[in-house]
Amino acid sequence: MEQDLTSLAAAVAELQASVSAINGTFAETFYYLTIPLMVLIHVGFLAYEMGASRSKNALASGIKNILAFAMIVPFFYFVGWWIYWAFPTGLTLSEGAMGISGIAYANSIALPWSEYMGPNLDDRSSGVFWGAFVLFAATTASIMSGGVIERIKLTGFVVLAIILGAFVWILAGAWGWHADGWLVTQFGYHDFGAAGVVHMIAGFFTLGVLINLGPRIGKFNADGSANHIAGHSMPMTLIGLMLIIAGFWGFLMGCVIVPGEAWSWSGTIEGTIYGTPMTISGMTFNTLMGFAGGIIGAWMVTRDPFWMMSGALGGIISCAAGLDLWYPPMAFMIGFIGASAMPFVATFIEKRGIDDAVGAFAVHGFLGMWGLLAVGIAAQGYPALFGEDVITTSFTGQLVGAVVMALLGFVPGYVVSFVLKVTGQLRVPEEAEILGLDAVKVPANAYPEGLHASVSPAE
């Protein structure tokens, strides 16, 4: 009898070890797949921004995007990942209730010489989870990149991209996305799909930069009226936007906690980054419904294919904060409302003399804010964290989060770009802008056989 019990215990232990190994492999593979999918976001931004640029600036627009991506990776390795684990409770570096934050914890898992920051065998998921966050960081820089095309200096842009991707957005993530984040634990802030911590941060940072950068030559007339400066390839821009949508599925996968992660405490098959229950099925319903609502809403108010495809992205961003909570028809309406308002916000910004070449603030900054407030309006009372007797979501909490994200994005964007402006590192000389950045900065020709395009008033 005793021998049978011993054999049974051994079999159970072997089964548990096998299940643990399978869960670990699944988690590792899940996050690993988010990375190439999120790379599609940058393929999309590359096509989107080059198409939205005039032919004389196409390659320069692409190069700055690629270089910013490459520069963010090492900075995020050495600094950004540590910030995420060190600062969730604020600037005090103290440990939070979950025990997965603070300076001691950050030092143990996120310093470059930590065993978790190399090819160790004990924790196979750390590297791919880090990689997913690197792609989030690079996405913030790509959001900014579109708004500033055709007149920003490469060096200035790279500095701004590094500060946004490796410092600013990850601090926002620590405060509003981490389970120990003070916005979450004190205000019940809910932002499943990063409407605030990625899109609002990047959108408002971009707004601060655009104020100091100034408009492209020829954008505004003496009376303040604006000219439309068309890119050289609308088809390339539309394809780029659709690729961003494809990559967005990887982006949203990175917002999910699956079995195998050491801090997946909810016990569910999938959970949000806060540990609260959700399902990939629900996320799929709501992503597609928000996508469709955004396209239809933007198309109905503009009939413009550019805004229609921007509306697809805008519809998902509008729903992103509550993708784990919405009933699908609600996601459709939230995406529809947000995307319908988006072109009017872009016009409002333009009438203030701000030249946002692709509507980055309207799509990401404004709709990220709308997404946060929509949760406060229509999804109050849900637990903000896993467990019993926890704080719940509220309109006040979402409003506080939106204000924090707006300020955390705008202030660094404005201050750093102002310093770059004063030191002459923000904008290219007028002569270079008129001639075209490809001619003066790129040792290659985008269209060596010639491109016959319509000439805009700013040519």
Mean pLDDT value of segment 384-407: 93
**Are 173 and 84 contacting, i.e. CB atoms less than 8 angstroms apart?**
yes
pLDDT at 255: 83
**Are 295 and 308 contacting, i.e. CB atoms less than 8 angstroms apart?**
yes
Query: Cα angle vertex 437, ends 243, 427, to 5°?
Result: 100
**Are 327 and 371 contacting, i.e. CB atoms less than 8 angstroms apart?**
no
pLDDT at 100: 85
**What percent of the chain has pLDDT above 90?**
68
pLDDT at 273: 85
pLDDT at 111: 92
The CATH topology of domain 21-441 is: Ammonium transporter fold (1.10.3430)
More confident residue, 127 or 64: 64
Give residue limits of the domains in the chain.
Answer: 21-441
| Terminal Cα distance for the chain, rounded | 90
Mean pLDDT value of segment 124-129: 78
Mean pLDDT value of segment 354-360: 95
Confidence of residue 34 (pLDDT cuts 50, 70, 90): confident
Confidence of residue 121 (pLDDT cuts 50, 70, 90): low
Mean pLDDT value of segment 330-355: 96
Six-digit token pair at 308?
Answer: 């229609």
Mean pLDDT value of segment 219-228: 93
pLDDT at 33: 84
Residues, the chain, total? 459
Backbone angles phi, psi at 427, to 5 degrees: -125, 145
Q: For the whole model, what pTM was predicted?
A: 0.91
Confidence of residue 143 (pLDDT cuts 50, 70, 90): very high
Check the CA dihedral 375-189-295-277 and report its sign: negative
**What is the residue-averaged pLDDT of the chain?**
88
Confidence of residue 456 (pLDDT cuts 50, 70, 90): very low
Mean pLDDT value of segment 87-96: 83
Least confident of 18-22, 68-72, 321-325, 455-459: 455-459
pLDDT at 269: 56
Give the bridge partners for 133, in sequence order: none
Residue 288's H or E segment, with its range, is: helix 280-302
